[in-house]
Structure 1
Amino acid sequence: MSAIVWTAAASLLAWLWLLLGQGFFWRTDVRLPPRRDPDAWPYVCVVVPARDEAAVLPSSLPSLLAQDYPGRAEVVLVDDGSTDGTGDVARELSLRHGGLPLTVARPGEPPAGWTGKLWAVRHGIGIARAREPEYLLLTDADIAHAPDSLRTLVAAARTGGFAIVSQMARLRVDTLWERLVVPAFVYFFAQLYPFRRIGREGARTAAAAGGCVLLRTETAVRARIPDAVRDAVIDDVALARAVRAAGGRLWLGLADRVDSVRPYPRLRDLWRMVSRSAYAQLRHNPLLLLGTVAGLVLVYLAPPAALAAGLAGGDAAAAALGGAAWLVMTGTYVPMLHYYGQPPWLAPLLPFTALLYLLMTVDSAVQHHRGRGAAWKGRTYARPGAVPDEG
């Protein structure tokens, strides 16, 4: 058999394993269970790290202040060195909309060894812990919550015995580039961290979605959160691993009514979102980078290439194997497109999107080796433990 046939066969085998052996990652039915109210509603403090978020806060913060929660709850927004009046906008929104009490704090610049977001989270958790809440809700400044979001998160945590209940917020998919890239972002994340495995007793897979993480305070103290993950660029996964190591149970699934309001209208916006942390996901390891590139080529690019080469060269085996692998790939992507309300005809374009992610990952490594690392809102984290470089 030719090299093309062998490659296509290997790709098909990889897709059959992904279909059946990777925790059914492609299914999108891992959602919060129907709510069962606990006997008592615990006190919850919501911590929102925010850096230059004045533009998105009017679309997100009022949804937190308006939470229909039967117990005691309040919001701590940590203004992480913003230059656009984020703190003033937050106070104005609180005065205008009322609802849950709001505290706005400024932590100062992060010291060496801390990412800015986690330094802000540490400051917010410190304020919250002085008020002795039973749970902390860590949520990003661009996340809008349905009125019953806090209630359903707490009910799931209390009745399910989870130390973390996290929801993958539904990202915006309005522009062409968002439609091509965003559903694939969540699809790839679920492929790396199958949601079904995360919630199992004794599971080794650990992950959370940083935009919406309900965390039991007692477990956070035991796991030394956020100090234990202070230099993590991908802080949500690191946080989940620390909590699991401390004996806490995790739950992660897709959200129905928790949405990101941040727009990514252009390809370069999405590129920056992915590339700023892609190489950190690979632990800044060149060998892992090479393996990832090879894996993406074999799994996502080889099937259409083998089909095209087989049809052009009259190689029926290559065409059949490549076509079969592409078909399985397409079928696993359709549920995620459906979740995002996108047409199924986008599914065969997944190899093109995977190529974009491959290039973003390589660019992430290039930027790291140029000393730019994980750049975000004027700060650069060149490597774990690096001192932030203010831009």
Structure 2
Amino acid sequence: MVIAALAALFALPAFAQDTAGGAAAQCTADADAKAALYQSFLSNYKGNPEQQKTASQTGKDYITKYGNCPDESDKKIASFIQNWVSKYDKAVRDFACTDSFNKKDYTGTFEACRAILNADPENVDTLLLLARAGYANVTLPTPNKTRNADAARMARRAAELIESGKAPAKWDPFKSRDEALGFLYYAQGVFLSETSPTDAAAAFIKAAQSNSTFNREASTYTYLATIYETNELKKLVDEYTAAFPPGNPIPDEKKAQYDQMLAQIGKVQDRIIDAYARAAAIMNADPKADAARKKAVMNKLTGYYKARHNDSDAGLNDLVANVLSKPLMLPGQEPAPTPTPSTTTGTDGNTPKPSTQPTTTPGSKPSTPPQKPPVTKATPSAKGRAARTTSGR
């Protein structure tokens, strides 16, 4: 057995030589067919799209049949053809991706662009385009949210790559790197607002803190306020109501819990007030702002503000006028609450009346839905087209 194995081992180089010799013999024997196939490639590779398609198939046939020919001149031809075919295939993939977007087939764009990301997962241009496709989908007259999860991943990855120093071939349609990042943060918030509100809030906060026009977009803040309402305040109100049912006296041993729960509710309300005040300030400065939405935001803001200020709106106008000059109020950075004695009694003389009344009711939806995302900022048609690949010999 050992001798047989050694014999087989020593026979391998000879076999390799025979194989190489066979390839060389075939290349020589097929010289006319090989030359004709190459000439067919040369006749088409600089032509119109149909001719280039023919050249691509001819080139692949040539590589399959003669890609291993040992002659140096054959190697150069095979390398030239392979280089052109690779560029052509990439151009076809790129065109299919952008063409789908340009035709407003935003859902199909994800499938059309998949091949690009399979080959290059960090292709910033494609990730940006898919984030825009997902955003365009949710801003259609009838929003299509089927790709929101995919779009959120694309937007997040694009933002990570840009933050790390990578850049697309050009920033168009965005005016700058900062504008692209602002859009990506905002878009993530939109995509995640229903399925992952905590992540959505973090994304909207990034948009609000970015050096982009999205920090002066009213819906950045109405989205944020609504998430605070539905994701945080409602839960706290439910817990508060369960612990202290209306009309029941508060036992002394629960006064500390009572004060703590009211303080937590107040902190969330303060962030809601801050967010709605920013939206109101931006709308006040915009002569084209929708009057109905502007009124709805102001009504929400007034309700929360009065609940935090003993049913008074004194100082509200000053808040709106100056809020944009102050840092965004973040979770954990709310102002210290004003102590409210837990012995204060309500109108019935029996039930303590907290100075901070929750302004949402369990199970209710926000009466003011977030303003629709701006459609004009980041959804122009992609201008890129797959250029014809015309490499010279």
- TM-score, scaled relative to structure 1: 0.21
Q: Which structure has greater helix proportion?
A: 2
Q: Which structure has greater strand proportion?
A: 1
Q: More relative contact order in 1 or in 2 (CA 8 Å, sep 6+)?
A: 1
- TM-score, scaled relative to structure 2: 0.21
